Structure 1
């Protein structure tokens, strides 16, 4: 039989064993170590609110070179892709008949001037009538008008560049018969490009002449600075959009008419808390973040989201600057669980 003294010693030993194994002294509830998580301190950063639109590039000046008359091409004074200056000769059309008429008109003018000189001497000696002198003066004016008329016909058969720019691909060859409206080639001023784009009329307050915007070209994989030069005075009644025009300097002529550009317009800037999208827990329309408090306990907070940018989302409410965000290792956490923060 066990004596009373032995029973007392056995009871003390069992009590000591229970105290040693109590949950209060374990690393986490249930005897498991605290889960390792990665945390970061929430801070604000500058966020830009933007609207985007697609636009099409146009040359600052752009025309099809064509003729005003039906005539045969005698010479082309350019090569494909040439840079030309304003007034440079581009195309010569057949003009033999007009050249002959001009020579005849100039001879007639010279004759009238000789007769006027002769009559002036006769008038001085009163050997000629004033009416005869006046008739010759009128004939001289008619000869001068005829010369101007023929020179205008010659100008129609001599095509010059109306502005400086770059010649496109020629469509006709010397000897071809050209008629009004037939394109011989194109001419574009590429020094500055026009970018036309449409925005919903609800964004009309976001654009104004002189505003700086950014235009991106996927074809060139590059961004270009642009300045809005004008906003249309009317809203399209069909789709309720408004057209704006921006100018882009193009000194190296990388941009070409017809290219598609993605326009990005900054409408406002403000400070906001941005959190990694991977840190979000979403249940239907509810969104949550896990926060580690000062006692290294996990808290689940419902948050309100704002704008997004690649990999991050704005947190408008639910957390504060300076709190510790658990961005990794929160999948199996429970509210109030003790966590072990690790260096990221």
Structure 2
């Protein structure tokens, strides 16, 4: 009786086990839905290679106004920041002695001219010798030369603007004694600014006179267009850089000499396929992307990378425009795996 009960219990256990392993339930347990991914359509776009450099602004023309002689300042004919014209009187130095000498020289010239006029009449009546007339003529020429000499001395004491521009801050006041080399103020022509910047000599083939570059001022939070006007004829042997000069129109006088500018110039422009960096899978030195085929299968492709820009990288080869790039959900994919599009995927373009 006990043996019969054990047999019935064993048969029941086997039946339960077979029921649990029925084909219908086993198929349900191993069947999984295809992975869900997000894709975008690859396309070509125009990209640019940029080279950046720091540059310093210089005025078109710039000088320190100083005196050629040691003398006292009697008058300043400008205010700080004034716009002046070329030839405009800026500073008057003491010139009393020179004015007295000029008056004396003019009186001497007038006397020589009177004597010449008188002798001319006497020579006509043969009442004076020709030699006396010639001596007076020579004296007249000396008097004229003396006047020009004194005028030159006066010009040194009347300091004028050598070019049109904007006056800086005056450093001295009337009554101050100045000597050669003493800076009185500054004068800058800032209607056009010069921008000098250095580039690696390897980029020399990418720059040319007449080329347009973009100069950014962090202080003004503004970009300015500049045109390369000259390129240095020598390369710096220490850092192997070459200096270029660009000109920037400055009608509103926003730019000031000495400002730091970030220069950006285009060295190359071409059509390329750009992919999101998030779609890039890197294994050691090899890079891959995943492509969704027409059969809705995932295909891993080795690719070669080019330039980068924020969030994107250039794909040089390995993919073609129009293909579907898997940019999300590829982490667990296997090559050839069937995938489905995520419900919130919008198959757009990069």
TM-score by length of 1: 0.90
Q: Which residue of 1 aligns with 2:84?
A: 84
Question: C-alpha displacement at 1:303, in angstroms?
Answer: 1.4
Question: C-alpha displacement at 1:72, in angstroms?
Answer: 0.6
User: Are 1:290 and 2:287 matched, yes or no?
Assistant: no
Correspondence list, 1:240-279, <5 A:
240-279=240-279
Q: Which residue of 2 aligns with 1:210?
A: 210
SS in 2 for 1:139: helix
C-alpha distance after superposition, 1:191-224 (max 9, x if no partner): 1111111112111111111111111111112111
Q: Distance in 1 between matches of 2:41 and 2:60?
A: 51
Q: Distance in 2 between matches of 1:260 and 1:329?
A: 46
Correspondence list, 1:149-160, <5 A:
149-160=149-160
Q: Distance in 2 between matches of 1:313 and 1:156?
A: 65
Question: C-alpha displacement at 1:19, in angstroms?
Answer: 5.8
Q: Which residue of 1 aligns with 2:5?
A: none
Q: Distance in 1 between matches of 2:221 and 2:312?
A: 23
Number of aligned pairs? 325
C-alpha distance after superposition, 1:58-87 (max 9, x if no partner): 111010011111111111111111111101
Q: Distance in 1 between matches of 2:279 and 2:182?
A: 64
Q: Distance in 2 between matches of 1:188 and 1:33?
A: 75
Where does structure 1 lack aligned partners over 5 or more consecutive residues? 1-9
Q: Which moved more, 1:269-278 or 1:286-295?
A: 286-295
User: Are 1:315 and 2:285 matched, yes or no?
Assistant: no
Q: Which residue of 1 aligns with 2:301?
A: 301
Q: Which residue of 2 aligns with 1:64?
A: 64
Correspondence list, 1:40-189, <5 A:
40-189=40-189
C-alpha distance after superposition, 1:4-23 (max 9, x if no partner): xxxxxx9xxx8xx7368647
Q: Which moved more, 1:334-343 or 1:236-245?
A: 334-343
Question: C-alpha displacement at 1:166, in angstroms?
Answer: 0.7
SS in 2 for 1:184: strand
Q: Distance in 2 between matches of 1:31 and 1:79?
A: 89
Question: C-alpha displacement at 1:33, in angstroms?
Answer: 2.8
Q: Which residue of 2 aligns with 1:18?
A: 23
Question: C-alpha displacement at 1:150, in angstroms?
Answer: 0.5
Q: Which residue of 2 aligns with 1:328?
A: 328
Q: Distance in 2 between matches of 1:221 and 1:121?
A: 81
SS in 1 for 2:104: helix
SS in 2 for 1:305: strand
Question: C-alpha displacement at 1:35, in angstroms?
Answer: 3.0
SS in 2 for 1:255: coil
Q: CA RMSD in A?
A: 1.8
SS in 1 for 2:234: coil
Q: Which moved more, 1:155-164 or 1:251-260?
A: 251-260
Q: Which moved more, 1:179-188 or 1:211-220?
A: 211-220
Question: C-alpha displacement at 1:258, in angstroms?
Answer: 0.9
SS in 2 for 1:53: strand
Q: Which residue of 1 aligns with 2:3?
A: none
Question: C-alpha displacement at 1:284, in angstroms?
Answer: 2.9
